[in-house]
Amino acid sequence: MLIKLLHKISERYASQWLVLTFDVSIVVFTFFLAYLIRFNFQLDFDLIIFFKQIPFVIIAACISYLLVGSHKSVVRYTGFKDVVNVIIGVNILATILIISTFFSRKYNFDAVFNISGSVIYIHLLLNILFLIGSKLFVKSIYKQITAELNISKNVLIYGAGSSGLITYEAITNDPKSNIITIGFVDDNDSKIGKKINLLPVYPLKKITPEFVEKYNLEEVIISIQTIESSRLLEITGLLFKLGLKVKIVPPVQNWIDGDLSIGQIKDVRIEDLLGREPIKIANPDLDHEYNNEIIFVTGAAGSIGSEIARKVCNFNYKQLILIDSAESSLYELEQEFILRGIKNFKVIVGDIRDRYRMNLLFNAYKPKIVFHAAAYKHVPLMENNPYEAVSVNIKGTKNIADLSLKHLVNKFVFISTDKAVNPTNVMGASKRIAELYVTCLKGQGQTKFITTRFGNVLGSNGSVIPLFKNQIEAGGPLTVTHKDITRYFMTISEACQLVLEAAAMGNGGEIFVFDMGKSVKIYDLALNMITLSGLRFPDDINIKITGLRPGEKIYEELLADGENTGSTYHEKIMIAKTRAIDKDKIQNLILSLCDKKRKTNIEIVALIKDIIPEYISNNSKFEVLDNKK
């Protein structure tokens, strides 16, 4: 009951007029104290004149504080700007008293307005001391009370530079914070051993199990704006081994209105440890590209398709048509858009393999931009189901591309994958053939055909990150197919921003790739995720090597044999310069592959290998076809 009462009291705010009364009362007290100091703490001054001067001082104080509005501030939230405001108000008060004294002496006014200069200056200093001190005292008391109501935690701030100081101020100035900063950590030897705001600066090696136990340390906040991902990984690894939680301060450009708040300090994410900088794209032409356009998104219920749809919603499109055969996921996306108040969109359950149905949709809505994200993407499943891979990834793509050409679509943007490069599995090979077919259509009509090719997407359906998370929740082990296997990674947001940019940048026939940084070892990724979960390897969770799956590569590539890249306006985005192909031959082979006559898996894969000779199966039953070459 008492705790509830204290909570209610802590949520109430004092009236601004009460704050003004409190401030004026301090002014009167310090005015009397200034007289005492001036007369060596003896009552050797005219008390009658003094008491007559008090109403004048009160009026002057009210005028000063009303001018600067210091009474409107919430005392418990007193910060640097409030302190400056108080000082300005005190100086205005002193100025009023000095001016009144000057005119009183010059024109022989009433002695009430004639105040000793020494008293005024002593009063000025006392006001600054008492007013600021009282506000900070109230703030400290409030913080102490709220800290007692909430369980506090001791933290260190990693980074004793400007960002670290701003983080400290954000923590200190938040009255609801239960965080107690016990010091700073820094790599700079010149800072170690010194104090900042009376808090010591420690080296990282000082943070030992004994240190953690001595200071009851629970958390470290990393506040370095230019930290390398490798160094971040090293630091977090050491801290996690000590059983500490690790949080990170976001980049300055992400601070709200240029100010950092505690709510913006987040847990370190796996994205922070991938060793690459997120790609930033700013193209003012995108508004012109998508505004007032009718846009199709196939595979709209999937990870990439749904994110493309979300990003398109940032533009003033005419109509957005979301197509997918996964009705449950499509329904969830529809409800999300309704909840967000998004207008002019329509969800349609449809299968890209059904050319007749797709033709009806093109006729009905007449799109001008098509984002084709529908595909089967799981390598092991497609290795066992080549017919379905061809049916969706090749024939489905062919349907949408052909209809885009027929219905005078302005731009067709195809979502491909790095697994299409020198493929070793059916899924990658099917996507490469789809790339080839899209390339073959260049110049056949007004439609500009554009391909985007990128690596694995963090958090997408069926990707390794959600898999590892589920395995961690289940108590492990984490399964990795090979200890040396590596993959390129990017965020869903980056991938879809690239797709939108490619549509605006492309003139037709391009395959866009981009600098994804270094590839990441999946084994290291598993270790990092165990660490980020606050667990220890192998004590809490182990990692199991299961062996390469059928068709799986150890290393992925972004460029095929015989390809190189050309630059674009963005240093991270490139255009793959592909080798020349025999379009008629390729199209005829693809038509034969898509023939409705049912073929055996071996026959299907044999035809695929005829189309793309660089397709060499790996750890697959289809290796027998390579041996016959």
Q: Low-confidence residues of the chain, pLDDT below 70?
A: 1-14, 71-80, 142-151, 175-176, 229-230, 251-264, 270-284, 458-462, 514-517, 556-572, 578, 596, 628-629
**The domain 285-623 belongs to what CATH superfamily?**
NAD(P)-binding Rossmann-like Domain (3.40.50.720)
Residues 9-37 pLDDT 10s? 445 555 777 778 888 888 888 888 888 88
Residue 501 near residue 493, CB atoms below 8 Å:
no
Structure tokens given for 185: 């950590």
Answer yes or no: are the C-beta atoms of 271 and 280 closer than 8 Å: no
Residue 406 φ then ψ, to 5°: -65, -40
Residue ranges, CATH 3.40.50.720, the chain: 151-268, 285-623
Longest dimension (CA), the chain: 118
Check if CATH label 3.90.550.10 holds for domain 151-268: no
Q: Which residues are identified as catalytic?
A: 419
Q: How far apart are CA 523 and CA 215, in angstroms?
A: 34
User: Which amino acid belongs to residue 359?
Assistant: N
Rounded distance between C-alpha atoms, residue 470 and residue 277, angstroms: 27
pLDDT at 109: 72
* Rounded Cα distance, 74 and 340, in Å: 34
**Amino acid present at 379:** V
Q: In what order do the strands lie in the sheet with 245-248?
A: 195-196, 199-202, 179-185, 153-158, 217-222, 245-248, 266-267
- pLDDT at residue 360 in the model: 97
What b-and-e string marks burial along 577-591, b requiring 16 or more CB atoms within 10 Å of the CB? ebeeeebeebbebbe
Cα separation values, 21 from 15, 81, 85, Å: 10, 21, 17
Strand partners, 321: 296, 346
Length of the chain in terms of residues written = 629
User: Tokens 């709200």, residue?
Assistant: 256
Which stretches of 207-356 are assigned E, i.e. beta strand? 217-222, 245-248, 266-267, 294-298, 319-324, 345-349
**In whole angstroms, what is the distance from residue 70 CA to residue 58 CA?**
15
Token readout for 115 is: 């105040």
Distance set, CA 160 to CA 168, 186, 259, 583 (Å): 10, 6, 18, 61
SS3 477: coil
Cβ–Cβ < 8 Å for 424, 616:
yes
The C-alpha atoms of residue 532 and residue 519 are separated, in whole angstroms, by 20
Identity at 409, one-letter amino acid code: V
Residue 322: the pLDDT is 97
* pLDDT value for 336: 94
Q: Is residue 191 within 8 Å of residue 130, measured between CB atoms?
A: no
- How far apart are the C-alpha atoms of 227 and 235, rounded to whole Å? 10
One-letter identity of residue 163? S
Contact 386, 605 (CB under 8 A): yes
| Amino acid residing at 104 | S
pLDDT digits (tens, 9 = 90+) for 262-289: 666 777 776 666 655 555 556 667 888 8
Amino acid letter for position 432? R
Indicate whether this model's pTM tops 0.85. no
